[in-house]
Structure 1
Amino acid sequence: MKAAAVFSDNMVLQRNRNIRVFGTCSKNEKIITVRIPELESFARAVVKDGRWEAVLPPRKEYSSCTLEISCGAVKKVFHNVAIGEVWLAGGQSNMEFELQHERKGAAALASCYSENVRFYYTPKCSILGDELEQAEKESCWRTPSPDNAKAWSAVGYYFARELSRRLGVTVGIIGCNWGGSSASAWISRDYLSCDKRLSPYLDEYDEAIKGKSDEEMIAEYDEYSTYQWAWEQRMIKFCAENPGAKWDEVLKNCGENRYPGPHSIKNPMRPCGLHETMVKRIAPYTLAGVLWYQGESDDHRPNTYEVLLKLLIENWRDLWKDKELPFMIVQLPMFRYIDDPDTKSWALIREAQENVFKSVKNTGLAVCLDCGELNNIHPTDKSQVAHRLYLQAMSEVYEVITRRDSLPPMYDNFEVIGNAMLIHLTNCEMGLGGKDEHCLDGFEIAGEDGVYYPAKATVRLPYIELRSDKVKMPAAARYKWTNYADVGLFGINDLPLPPFRTDKY
């Protein structure tokens, strides 16, 4: 009998909800019990097909107790177990971004000893096997110290710190993220294949590996990994010696960048791969909710991201046996590489994220439009992103603040009067604020021909009036419909007006 690797000393269990404890067993191990002796909590596990799962009844917050798992003469005891709030920090590199590299990370690490937060990092292995089993044996929940916390998710840590201070309980973060990953990597094949609009993800992969044995695919990926590691060392050295170098100069001097490598059963970016090697290893560990910071690696297929994210949420809720599992979504900030054209793909991803928030229950939207940097896909200040996720949790999950405080003014609808278009906003009762005299830049209007022109914007709450000498009969409008631009228009709560367009279809 074994408990899943996510159960260890120093773990945090979710308060006020059924606590699921699970693992694997042999066919002869049929009676497995779980208990928390200090709280007189007991459950007998259901055993089926080599897996077991017990459900302990809900308990209030508790600072330190033990969890005992017994099977015959075998007993496993976990110590210093806290009962509090547990959140999963999911997504790609901006959620993965380590506290030691964050703008204020050094100060945060120096003072982290006193914070009532803990962290478990789901082992990152691209394929099932001995390497993953060994990584899981070495994994465990950790308490905060400068050495322990340096590689924790900066967003996850800041969120947990603020939440713990507000609620007065231990907050645990389960890191489950991988840089460069598409949402398609985090979803099961059954779910990914159930909507034809998402078929390119699987079709491209299946076609690429057709006729190849597992051994061939592993060998190809290992060769790529060796090459790519050497390439990255050359790239780092060249960029350090040539700050500000253009990308074509990097390629000319360092050779071909082969990332993300060949399609392979060993490539972590493959469809459904991380669902198999990471998500299923920790589910259904009882959670308060999910923090989701992802979308950058799906900008090549932005028109289907809404469908993809909705299916991911449905898939995870099914896996966690919680049809109301909260998802707090980071709306992507402004970003563009300086040499790249403005494809507006990130605007489409942001729109998809907002649509999911508006149409899927128990979701939140952390609007972070102003948290990006030109030419840097990994902004170093993660505290604002974490704070906005915290605000969403406070209003959408814990219900201790209202949306007036957690959301910015947002587009609602429009009307046309003469040669003016009136953009009606919600959540603007307290007014709008501008960063500078250019704060109303970024509005555009178009006539029936669909050609957009910059609009003069005048605030007349609860709407913004748009006009342009070049558009006599406005038919559509949009705001900050771009991958990157300066952001200057905010609500009184300092949250930026999110981008929008009136002609979505």
Structure 2
Amino acid sequence: MKLNQNLLADIFQDGMVFPRNKDFKVGGYIEPKQKVEVSFNQHTYFAMSDENGKWEIILPAVNEDLVQELTVKSNNKTQTISNLKFGRVYLLGGQSNIEYRLKDEKHYQGIVSKLKEMKYSNFYYYNVPQVDYLDPKTGEVRPKDLQVEHWHHINENNAGMVSAIGFYMMLALQESGIQEPIAVVDCFKGGTSASVWIKEADLARDADLKDAFLDKYHETIAGKSWEDFDRETKAYNLTVEKHNRDLAKYLKMHPDTSLSTAKNIVGHTPWPPPYRPDLYTRPSGLNETMLKQIEFGVFNQMVWYQGENDTDRAKYYDKLLPLLIHTWRQTLHDPSLPVKLIQLPGYADYPDNSGAEIRQTQLVVSRTVPQVDLVSFIDGGEEHNIHPTNKGTMGMRLGKIMAGDDYAGTPYVEKMDASSEGTKFRFVFKIARCQKLHLEKETYLKVKYFDKKVEQIKLNADNLQNNKLILELDDLPKEISYAYENYPHHIGLYNELNYPLSPFRVGFIKKVM
């Protein structure tokens, strides 16, 4: 889909950044069965649009930044894009924490001052238009006032609208010594389940996902008119407004009460809105209206930061997350596209222990899906704020890892060896992406036993040996875990680069060892 009538898809515009040293594509939608001619770098390439009007051409890699223009001709129309750049291009996807804009970030004013001094003159971004709905009959786009986006060369006037995480990631990449242009393509929207970004056909192939997401959606909207949908939406909005008034009133009357306690008394913000066909949170909705806009894009790496909105159905995330990665790679025709998977930071107000469950799934997926690496933000959360305002530390960590100068991700438990001697049980956890494990602060392991006893074991230097975490117990445990809770208060295990160890949980069966 596209918002303009050009020969090229919307993402192809003046000032665009393409990956350097990697074959790349151009393409778009025109009339069916039309010849397309592309002139680039003193060569001419040809293609034909298919029965749906789709066309694309793969162009050979460019290893320098000298080619400035690309021209497309078809059916007496011509489009030229100029001021092209070749460097590193990263795709950022997910929900509100990756969407969180630099203008709202804690250190924004300091960044603006440095931008005025031209400190960061080689950063670029493109925000994929957040199309909620495309009417299949009329072609009308909602929201109706949505405008075509443009490529932005970051300066003090436009930096506020880039992803804060993305900006700090680019900053770390530059500080690592990368001198070529660095760009991010932002394809995200707050409040979204992973199911929103996955093809409907892919969801339908899994019985559990079909039942939990597609069938539930279609059953909910069946037989309703647009008047019904509008009435339900109005009632929902009134409920949200009342909740916000009640919460503000309670906090004013009880100024010493934490936000979490107040929410437990007044109630959490009602979410999600009632289903309707034009609501972006419908299953596969943004796959059709946002991901589709960048189907011709080529990227060096992808970052996925999401999961908050799936905590109410965490049991499905082990199917949703790998399916999402598959869907995006398939859409982009890049089956080995490297993915950095952001592990959720701590936040206390998820239901039950669902935040911990999502993180465990993220860890497992990073270990089982090829070319996927975990970058843990477990130490970057705020107890009762789901949107931490300091994105600098996390974005810089991500950028340092993406630069490729050290580990491909943050440390995790790679292997556990268990043994027994006499009445003692010994457990040795080998930590990957780590040469020297150390303690930053007071840290505990949680041990559950078969008799339902629970023990918090404080770690000290004796429990650490190079890249190993060692624990000795008097009884066989049922479970050993580290930071396996929504908001862990004792995050203290780090590798030699000060990257945090991923939370983990290991279970045991009761048998003679």
CA, structure 1 residues 217+77, in 2 after alignment: closer, same or farther (shift >3 Å)? farther
After superposition, the C-alpha distances for 1:6-27 in whole angstroms (9 at most, x for unaligned) are: 1111111122222211111123
Gaps of 5+ in 2: 1-5
Identify the residue that residue 31 of structure 2 maps to in structure 1.
26
1:432 has 2:437 as partner: yes
Identify the residue that residue 86 of structure 1 maps to in structure 2.
89
- Residue of structure 1 aligned with 2:366, choices 348, 357, 364: 357
| Contact 2:233/2:273, CA 8 A, preserved across alignment | no
Q: Secondary structure at the match of 1:387?
A: helix
The structural deviation recorded for 1:451 is 4.4
Once residues 127 and 181 of structure 1 are traced to their aligned partners in structure 2, the CA distance between those partners, rounded to angstroms, is 14
Identify the residue that residue 183 of structure 2 maps to in structure 1.
172
Identify the residue that residue 203 of structure 2 maps to in structure 1.
192
Identify the residue that residue 336 of structure 1 maps to in structure 2.
348
Q: Which amino acid aligns with 2:369?
A: V
1:371 has 2:380 as partner: yes
Q: Which amino acid aligns with 1:17?
A: K
After superposition, the C-alpha distances for 1:442-468 in whole angstroms (9 at most, x for unaligned) are: x02233446432224441415333345
| Contact 2:438/2:464, CA 8 A, preserved across alignment | no
Matches within 5 A, 1:45-444: 45-48=47-50, 49-62=52-65, 65-112=68-115, 113=118, 114-129=120-135, 130-132=140-142, 137-165=147-175, 166-198=177-209, 199-213=211-225, 215-216=226-227, 219-220=230-231, 223=234, 227=238, 234=245, 246=259, 257-337=269-349, 343-395=352-404, 400-403=405-408, 406-408=409-411, 410-417=413-420, 418-427=423-432, 430-436=435-441, 438-439=442-443, 441=444, 443-444=445-446
After superposition, the C-alpha distances for 1:161-206 in whole angstroms (9 at most, x for unaligned) are: 3224532111121111111111000001111121223231222212
The structural deviation recorded for 1:240 is 8.7
| Contact 1:89/1:175, CA 8 A, preserved across alignment | yes
CA RMSD of aligned residues (A): 2.9
Larger deviation, residues 230-239 vs 66-75: 230-239
Once residues 333 and 308 of structure 2 are traced to their aligned partners in structure 1, the CA distance between those partners, rounded to angstroms, is 28
The structural deviation recorded for 1:502 is 1.4
The structural deviation recorded for 1:137 is 4.9
Identify the residue that residue 3 of structure 2 maps to in structure 1.
none
After superposition, the C-alpha distances for 1:401-456 in whole angstroms (9 at most, x for unaligned) are: 345xx4335352131324333232224763222223x13x2x02233446432224
The structural deviation recorded for 1:73 is 3.0
Once residues 184 and 71 of structure 1 are traced to their aligned partners in structure 2, the CA distance between those partners, rounded to angstroms, is 37
Q: Secondary structure at the match of 1:354?
A: helix
Once residues 246 and 96 of structure 2 are traced to their aligned partners in structure 1, the CA distance between those partners, rounded to angstroms, is 19
Q: Secondary structure at the match of 1:212?
A: coil
Q: Secondary structure at the match of 1:147?
A: coil
| Contact 1:238/1:250, CA 8 A, preserved across alignment | no
Q: Which amino acid aligns with 2:506?
A: T
Once residues 118 and 364 of structure 1 are traced to their aligned partners in structure 2, the CA distance between those partners, rounded to angstroms, is 24
Q: Secondary structure at the match of 1:307?
A: helix
| Contact 2:187/2:291, CA 8 A, preserved across alignment | yes
The structural deviation recorded for 1:224 is 5.4
Once residues 239 and 102 of structure 2 are traced to their aligned partners in structure 1, the CA distance between those partners, rounded to angstroms, is 25
Q: Secondary structure at the match of 1:62?
A: coil
CA, structure 1 residues 288+218, in 2 after alignment: closer, same or farther (shift >3 Å)? farther
CA, structure 1 residues 134+264, in 2 after alignment: closer, same or farther (shift >3 Å)? closer
Once residues 311 and 258 of structure 2 are traced to their aligned partners in structure 1, the CA distance between those partners, rounded to angstroms, is 24
Q: Secondary structure at the match of 2:477?
A: coil
Q: Which amino acid aligns with 2:194?
A: A
1:502 has 2:477 as partner: no
Percent of matched pairs sharing the same residue = 27
Q: Which amino acid aligns with 1:158?
A: Y
The structural deviation recorded for 1:95 is 0.3
CA, structure 1 residues 303+331, in 2 after alignment: closer, same or farther (shift >3 Å)? same
Q: Secondary structure at the match of 1:481?
A: coil
| Contact 2:131/2:143, CA 8 A, preserved across alignment | no
Q: Which amino acid aligns with 2:121?
A: E
CA, structure 1 residues 450+391, in 2 after alignment: closer, same or farther (shift >3 Å)? farther
Q: Secondary structure at the match of 1:106?
A: helix
Once residues 433 and 128 of structure 2 are traced to their aligned partners in structure 1, the CA distance between those partners, rounded to angstroms, is 41
CA, structure 1 residues 498+301, in 2 after alignment: closer, same or farther (shift >3 Å)? same
The structural deviation recorded for 1:258 is 4.0
The structural deviation recorded for 1:222 is 5.4
CA, structure 1 residues 153+235, in 2 after alignment: closer, same or farther (shift >3 Å)? farther
Q: Secondary structure at the match of 1:455?
A: strand
| Contact 1:218/1:266, CA 8 A, preserved across alignment | no
The structural deviation recorded for 1:297 is 0.7
Once residues 222 and 264 of structure 1 are traced to their aligned partners in structure 2, the CA distance between those partners, rounded to angstroms, is 9
After superposition, the C-alpha distances for 1:279-338 in whole angstroms (9 at most, x for unaligned) are: 11111311112111001111122222121110111111111111111111001111113x
1:472 has 2:475 as partner: yes
| Contact 2:105/2:164, CA 8 A, preserved across alignment | yes
CA, structure 1 residues 220+21, in 2 after alignment: closer, same or farther (shift >3 Å)? farther
Once residues 467 and 402 of structure 1 are traced to their aligned partners in structure 2, the CA distance between those partners, rounded to angstroms, is 29
The structural deviation recorded for 1:230 is 5.1
Once residues 304 and 491 of structure 1 are traced to their aligned partners in structure 2, the CA distance between those partners, rounded to angstroms, is 31
Once residues 239 and 190 of structure 2 are traced to their aligned partners in structure 1, the CA distance between those partners, rounded to angstroms, is 15
Q: Secondary structure at the match of 2:507?
A: coil
Gaps of 5+ in 1: none
CA, structure 1 residues 378+246, in 2 after alignment: closer, same or farther (shift >3 Å)? closer
Q: Secondary structure at the match of 1:43?
A: strand
TM-score normalised according to structure 1 size: 0.87
| Contact 2:492/2:500, CA 8 A, preserved across alignment | yes
Larger deviation, residues 409-418 vs 242-251: 242-251
| Contact 1:15/1:58, CA 8 A, preserved across alignment | yes
Q: Secondary structure at the match of 2:485?
A: coil
